[in-house]
Amino acid sequence: MDCLDCQQRSTIAYGKHGRNSATDHIAYTIRQRPSFRRIWRCLFRRSRCATRSQFERVNHVIQRLDPQPQFILFTGDEVAGYTQDPNELRAQWRYWLDVEMRWVAERAIPIWHATSNHTTYDRMSEDIFAEALCHLPRNGAPGQEGLSYWLRLDDLLLVFVHTLCTDLGGEGYVETSWLREVLRQNKDAKHKIVVGHHPVFSVNGFSGAYGRDVGPECGPTFWDTLVEAGVLAYFCSHILAFDVQVHRGVLQVCTAGAGTGHRMPEGIEYLHCVQAALDDNGLRYQVLDTDGVAREGLSWPISLPPAENWRALPPGRHPAPSDILATAGRPIILRFSGTAATDGIGTEQTLLTAFDEGSRSKLWIGFRGAAQRLTVLMAPDKGRSPFYGLGPSVPAGRPFEFTIVIHPGMGPGGILVREGDESLWSSMSTTSPWGAERLRWPSTFGIGFAQQGKDDRPFRGWLNRCSLAVCGT
């Protein structure tokens, strides 16, 4: 298995197929034969009149998948909701189930749902959600029967949480005791996936407790529960985007936008569904737009290249390695070890920079501020503000060892870092809606100082090692 199977964000991935016609089958293009075939798919804030045609286009993509998914996960907002008339809300659900999604029933594909702000916004709507989707298991948290639930499919555990529980406070509140117990009871499950509506970590800079993210009373405990139980991924939506991040080894995958007329932000995000495979090697997915073209993809977990594939980058200025210039969107992995400066000054200190002569650095990695916080800056576009990725800080005079992944298939969440060899991967924090998919590797590297020479933002500690590897080589 490749260490990471990725393609560039917002470009045609898995490019052999090109753009399919409206009648073509969409072949299952995720590499390797999976033991499970999955599709995760989300619709958010759909207006039946304004964007029905958009939702139909995503539905048509799914109907063309060959083979068809074994089940569908829907992460919320099937209907417009937000009405106080229970009969109107029931009518919305009947239309969605009997008209828009009739093909799912005809093909006998199971579909499981998460609650959301458009479908469970008060007690009345919670009751109608459970009534309309009466096929869902009734094994949820006390008082949340038909709202939260779990099911076991061989060695796969799926847990659906209610991230806007009325009894706990409404939007942004989620129960964790029941979740912890379900995960404990199913600790033998090889694959554990949790599904909810609200992100825990902000997406594309769209942040705000409760209204956009799980609230601070619940979020840290919720994520601790996932990490401690070895959960593979938390699938959510709410923010109208596709986004993937990893925090302490657990993926947060936000997939929202199967029929909405809006994007967060406009011009970058797109209508989509997610086709995924899960087997003994882990999780692999591709994100399909309304033409059936794969825009993004990921294989998880990460497997680092063998030792013989790493190359040392000594201090100084060097031509960029030739294999980097021909990576074709593959992830780049960098390792840095050394001892932090002892003076605690706040000037920028360079570990690595990449640039073309006569132009601004396109990539800068180093420490910033008196706290010596690990930072990655990317400036691929002339005259535009850079991407800032923020990592951990290093105390003055202390040794450090970081591994950084620059992953063009993960968007803004694709700058990953871990400390040492045993710690878990986490995405660097950022408010950017774009990431390394925009980076084109320049011709020159500088190690230990920036592009203007040895006096330009030098590293003031001791750099023991800087090394680089390309995934898939």
CATH number, domain of 118, equals 3.60.21.10
Among candidate residues 300, 329, 358, the one where a domain is terminated? 300
Structural domain includes residue 415: yes
296 and 312, same domain (yes or no): no
- Reported in sequence order, the residue ranges of 143-272 that DSSP labels E, i.e. its strands, are 149-153, 156-160, 191-195, 233-236, 242-247, 250-255
109 and 60, same domain (yes or no): yes
Structural domain includes residue 155: yes
Report the number of distinct structural domains present in the chain. Answer: 2
Among candidate residues 272, 300, 328, the one where a domain is terminated? 300
Structural domain includes residue 211: yes
- Paired tokens of 133: 């989707």
CB 348 within 8 A of CB 369: no
Structural domain includes residue 233: yes
Among candidate residues 300, 317, 347, the one where a domain is terminated? 300
Look up the pTM and report it: 0.90
200 and 66, same domain (yes or no): yes
259 and 401, same domain (yes or no): no
Q: What is the pLDDT along the chain (473 residues), one digit of tens a residue?
A: 222 223 333 332 322 223 344 456 676 555 444 444 455 433 323 333 345 667 888 888 888 888 888 899 999 999 999 999 999 999 999 999 999 999 999 999 999 999 999 999 999 999 999 999 999 999 999 999 999 999 999 899 999 999 999 999 999 999 999 999 999 999 999 999 999 999 999 998 889 999 999 999 999 999 999 999 999 999 999 988 899 999 999 999 999 877 676 788 888 888 888 988 888 888 989 899 889 898 888 999 988 889 899 999 999 999 988 777 666 678 999 999 999 999 877 899 999 999 998 888 999 999 999 999 999 999 998 889 999 999 999 999 999 999 999 999 999 999 999 999 878 999 999 999 999 999 999 999 999 999 999 999 999 999 999 999 988 64
Structural domain includes residue 20: no
- Please, what is the end-to-end C-alpha distance for the chain in angstroms? 12
Structural domain includes residue 9: no
The whole domain housing 85 covers: 26-300
Structural domain includes residue 275: yes
169 and 284, same domain (yes or no): yes
Q: What is the distance, to the nearest Å, from the Cα of residue 271 to the centroid of all Cα atoms in its chain?
A: 16
102 and 154, same domain (yes or no): yes
221 and 145, same domain (yes or no): yes
* Cis? peptide before 301, omega within 30° of 0: yes
Structural domain includes residue 7: no
CB 2 within 8 A of CB 299: yes
